[in-house]
Amino acid sequence: MDFPAFEEQWDTDVTRATVYAEFRAVPNLLSLYVDQKIAPDDSENREAYLKVTPFDGKLTIKAGQMFVPFGLRLQDDNTFVRQATGVNFLTPDDGVEVGLELAKWSTQLAVIEGQSGADDQLSARAVYVQPKWRVGASVNSSEDAFGDRQMQSVFAGLKTGPISWLAEVSLIADEAPSGERDVYATLLEGNYRLRKGHNLKVGYEFLEPDRDRDEDEQERYSLVWEYNPIQFVQSRVGVRRYNGIPNIAVSNRDEVFAELHVYF
């Protein structure tokens, strides 16, 4: 009698070590911020910009290398809404950003230089904030020799008792010499505060890589327990299920992971 073989692979490694530094040249007005990845592999600058904050911080002006303002700022770069749009912690770029921070509004408009040979990228984000909920929208436009991309997203957050919800829908339209492609990605996430220091995260994501193709849709289910035993220390244990393109193993898989985050 033959039994199916199961292959398990466990990787233990430092996935990221980062140094953050802020120098306040003129308190409450002018500062220099640096975000530098130092491990693994070579050192890499993620953010480095000057920030001016006049009018008691209501107006912010940033110039240098920064993350593009678009959609929700999520810790997990592998979420479909961050992978499909290409806007995540792995894709900073040079540019200028102007922001407005009011009691109920947070808005940013950025002109990003883009990759070599590409035209400037425009990205805007606006969020209306209330104590128990928020709603926002983003737009992004970029052009280069390989094609144009237009992106829009709507996102929201809602607190219902001990559960905090996050949701986002991102729409992407690509126009290239080879043709057009319409993509959309969604995220729905619930965070349940079990008790102090303990958070249970449940998520569902959907990705449509090309509306004109059949059977290329992908889903991702996540269940993650986060534990903060003390300030600046977080452990995460979770499982993820991917359902995707038939007969492609990598898009139909299970993942189990454990992480330790230390901030000092």
Looking at residue 179, what is its pLDDT? 87
Say if residue 1's pLDDT is above 50: no
Looking at residue 4, what is its pLDDT? 40
| Segment 232-246, tens digit of pLDDT | 999 999 999 999 988
**Residue 12 pLDDT class (50, 70, 90 cuts):** low
Q: What percent of the chain has a predicted confidence (pLDDT) above 90?
A: 76
| Segment 37-69, tens digit of pLDDT | 888 888 889 999 999 999 999 999 999 999 999
Q: How open is the CA angle 138-144-146, to the nearest 5 degrees?
A: 110
The residues pairing with 44 across neighbouring beta strands, listed in sequence order, are 37
Looking at residue 22, what is its pLDDT? 93
Looking at residue 184, what is its pLDDT? 96
- Identify whether the C-beta of residue 201 lies closer than 8 Å to the C-beta of residue 223: yes
Predicted structure pTM score:
0.88
Task: Return the CA Rg of the chain.
Answer: 20
Looking at residue 43, what is its pLDDT? 87
**Residue 196 pLDDT class (50, 70, 90 cuts):** very high
Say if residue 2's pLDDT is above 60: no
| Segment 93-136, tens digit of pLDDT | 999 999 999 999 999 999 998 765 567 899 999 999 999 999 99
